[in-house]
Structure 1
Amino acid sequence: MPTPLPTRPRLITFDTYGTLIDWDGALRAHLRALFAARAQDTDVAAFYRRWYYGYALPAVHGRFLPYRDLLATTMAEALAAEAGITADDAELAALGDVMAEADPFADSVGTLRLLGAHAPLATISNSQRDIIDVSVRKLGDPFTYVFTGEAVGAYKPHRALFELVLGRAGVEPHEAVHVAQSQYVDLPRSVPMGIPTVWINRQGQELRPTTPAPTAQLPDLRGLPELLGLTEAA
């Protein structure tokens, strides 16, 4: 059984990209421009899925690379294999900047501001510090703790980022709440660790049989304060 939500969380941790920041939309727009510049009629959504599931997701389980390098390497492989495109170094290097400059979802800033009045907030991200620093500013600097894979030399679903933030905050797993959209890198680790987990299912996905069930599921962040009982002014 998933760990129940605490009456009063002592720490609320977030995945950033896909949960708080519309990284998928920004990357698809970048890819659309890349294909258009080559007059190539490519189904961007289908290519994106092949890149993510076939190249990027396996890479987070492999040898650690800084996230800008991981993006560039996996995208170069996918473009060559799936679209017959050789991308230049500038196009590949721009991927990290696209991630950094992606905009928050409309419900992110206000929800973080409200929750931050009640409990410390943290983000643990499969990204890179110079990328997430830009995103954090776009989100209104709401976090007490900001950690990326660089801090531990590993990416989620490795347990190291979760252990790091819990240790720094001095809380037990059941006293925290983790909020995330990924059933591939977040839920498979936070749920078995006993961290009450809220799945932000923005894409309307079906939960895979192999993914541990979260404590709760929401379609976006708007219902999160009420779910956590943190709607009153602090």
Structure 2
Amino acid sequence: MRLCDFSILTFDTYGTLIDWETGIWDALQPLCARLADPPTREAALATFAQVESACQAATPDLLYADLLAATHRMLIRNWGGEPDEAESIRFGQSVGDWPAFADAAESLAYLKRHHRLITLTNCDRASYRGSSARLGDPWNAILTAEEIGSYEPSRANFEFLLARVAADFGGDPGSILHVAQSLFHDHVPAKAIGLTTAWIDRRAGRGGGATASPQEAVEPDFRFKSMAELVAQHRAERA
């Protein structure tokens, strides 16, 4: 199996292409600054992962900006802080400020010369615009939780992806390689629906972070530490 065998590459954005852990941590600094006993970065991200995934399961039709604001309110309660509605709203609107990984835009620009590129994201369209711009607006299609009505890891999101690929690009599951960092949000449901997957293991095998742990074992078909490493293998295949 080769990367070049696939005509369509589908991507998770946050954690894979956008450094959401840095973005989340930076956006939490106003809250942390006023806590008597602020959490460490790793502890804050782990709590965020638990709270965000619970919010997504409970309110699948909530726009991501509003869901992030709700997550922030719950973090305040968990950490014993004083409510600050304006601060929670600003946190919800921070997605566009989250930085891209250094290798992301260049890697996507290269891959776009050889494949159609689609992102399947838990974000809403308005919040995603800033992230797409940071990545060089490389997408042939942007599929958001806003239009699907549910959040990954829901199977419905991947069924929506397959339907759009078939309708818009004439592709079938065998033409798709799904590229993602999150085992929980992406690899478990993608493999369950029959997709081939590539794991961008940005945390280099370390658990935790802003992504919830998967409830079942999953084995991606490819594994890379970065997008740059994926591109290097792609170039080698074409040499």
Q: TM-score, normalised by structure 2?
A: 0.86
Distance, in Å, in 2 between the alignment partners of 1:50 and 1:76 is 13
Structure-2 change in CA distance of 1:229 and 1:167 (3 Å):
farther
Runs of 4+ in 1 over 6 A off after TM superposition: none
Amino acid corresponding to residue 204 of structure 1 in structure 2? A
- Opposite residue 17 of structure 2, the aligned amino acid is L
Structure 1 partner of 2:210: none
User: Which amino acid is 1:67 matched to?
Assistant: Y
Deviations, residues 71-118 of structure 1 (Å, cap 9, x unaligned) = 11122112212x101331111111232212111100101100000000
The 1:176–1:230 alpha-carbon spacing in structure 2 relative to 1, beyond 3 Å, is: farther
Measured after TM superposition, the shift of residue 56 of structure 1 is: 0.9
From 213, 219, 230, the equivalent of 2:225 is: 219
- Residue aligning to 1:205: 205
Residues in 1 aligned to 2:181 and 2:3: alpha-carbon distance in whole angstroms: 20
The whole-number CA distance in structure 2 between the counterparts of 1:205 and 1:160 is: 28
Instruction: Specify the code of the residue in structure 2 equivalent to 1:147.
Output: L
Mapping of 1:32-181 within 5 angstroms? 32-38=29-35, 40-53=37-50, 55-64=51-60, 65-81=62-78, 83-170=79-166, 171-181=171-181
Q: Give the letter aligned to residue 186 of structure 2.
A: D
Stretches of structure 2 that go unaligned for 5 or more consecutive residues are: 208-213
The answer (yes or no) to whether the contact 2:198–2:224 under 8 Å persists in 1 is yes
Q: Distance in 2 between matches of 1:119 and 1:128?
A: 24
Change (3 A) 1:44 1:87: farther
The amino acid across from 1:70 in the alignment is L
27-36 or 223-232: bigger deviation? 223-232
* Residue-by-residue CA offset, 1:170-194 (whole Å, 9 max, x unaligned): 2111211000000111011111212
**Structure 1: gaps of 5 or more residues:** none
> Are 2:184 and 2:215, in contact at CA under 8 Å, matched by a contact in 1?
no
| Partner-residue secondary structure (3-state), 1:179 | strand
CA RMSD of aligned residues (A): 2.2
Distance 1:101 1:175, change over 3 A: same
Provide the secondary structure at the position in 2 that maps to 1:109.
helix
Q: Secondary structure at the match of 2:81?
A: coil
Contact 1:122–1:145 (8 Å) recurs in 2: yes
Partners of 2:131 and 2:199 in 1: CA distance: 21
Between stretches 101-110 and 162-171, larger displacement belongs to 162-171
8 Å contact kept, 1:26–1:99 = yes
Distance in structure 2 (CA, Å) of the matches to 1:75 and 1:142: 30
The residue number in structure 2 matching 1:188 is 188
Other structure's SS at 1:156 match: coil
Instruction: Name the one with the larger helix percent.
Output: 2
Alpha-carbon distance in structure 2 between the residues aligned to 1:10 and 1:163: 18
By how many angstroms is 1:202 displaced?
Answer: 0.7
Equivalents in 1 of 2:114, 2:5: separation in Å?
9
Alignment TM-score, normalising by the size of structure 1: 0.88
Paired residues in the alignment total: 228
> How many angstroms apart in 2 are the aligned matches of 1:177 and 1:231?
16
Q: Which amino acid aligns with 1:75?
A: H
